[in-house]
Structure 1
Amino acid sequence: MRNAPTTIIVGSLISLLWVASANAQGRPDARTMTCEQAKQLVADLGGVVITTGQRTYQRFVKDRRYCERSEVLRREWTQTLDDRACQVGYRCAPHTQRN
């Protein structure tokens, strides 16, 4: 019975490490996905931040519901594994009035 608390502590630590490693995986990288995979990711999640380059990232959305009221949709392209200019989805951009 003396080992029961040790087993519980070790089990808890393993669980914490597993959760921490899952959270530390980072954001998806468009350069490692096909165009269709990247499009499907945006479609499934609605809005997602995706790595687009070595030091760049972009938030892609599937429709207007994922933008602020003062924003509009703009088509957004990025490089994927199989396409240099894949329209993954849209980005939310500030609405600018034209004179």
Structure 2
Amino acid sequence: MATTTVLYPEGTKFNMEYYMSSHMPFVGKKLGPHGLKSWKVLEFPAGSPFCVQATLEWESQQKFETAGASPEMKEVLDDVPNFADKQPTLMPGTIKGTS
């Protein structure tokens, strides 16, 4: 399995209602067929270097890489201006352990 951590920097004008009700279901619909298994959203307190984090779990790193090059990923990223005034940082990685 692999994950992608999506981080929005502190100070981002962020519409959490849109993100949770529209964007994340859209992410699931568009990227599920490419191997996205699940997602989680965290909101950080003021003073943190980030305001929001999404963690996406993938079947494999290769599935994420294939999804990353897909037209569906472009659609997902094109939706960002609908809820955030700053672009996120994407940090993909392979899970090495869990409990």
TM-score (norm 2): 0.29
Higher strand fraction (1 or 2): 2
Instruction: Select the structure with the greater relative contact order (CA < 8 A; seq sep ≥ 6).
Output: 2
| Structure having the higher Rg | 1
